[in-house]
Structure 1
């Protein structure tokens, strides 16, 4: 239940995408620019997100976000772990 609460808290109703699955929202939930990302599926306009595409974007952007924030490989927090568990269900 807590993973659903985490995703819901990360995505206010008015900021969620009607075309992306809950699992995609869970994968993107910890990214600081998730609201912009969800509006731009990597496959182009008119397409919706897939879990695989969301994971790829998080993998690419995650490394850049950690460098920009000064994260030097710290252990993941509860939010990251919850998102990771949800992402693995997709």
Structure 2
């Protein structure tokens, strides 16, 4: 089966200080996609993991309501200080 034999991978949300380390096959992970939810992909340690990435946009607002990097400058510095990769995200 494609995408069944892998280890590792996942996603780490930097500002929220949490990681999504494992999901079930067929699950989707959605996030706002703004600087408030900076993330990084965690490495796959064995095998090959296949993902699908997509982007969507509200045609009524476009990107005009997104803040710029300069508006988050202080937060970006705090993110660097508070980073902890061991805290898992919670799903409800």
What is the TM-score of this pair, normalised by structure 1? 0.22
Q: Determine which structure has the larger strand proportion and give its number.
A: 2
Q: Determine which structure has the larger helix proportion and give its number.
A: 1
Report which of the two structures shows the higher radius of gyration computed on alpha carbons.
Answer: 2
What is the TM-score of this pair, normalised by structure 2? 0.22
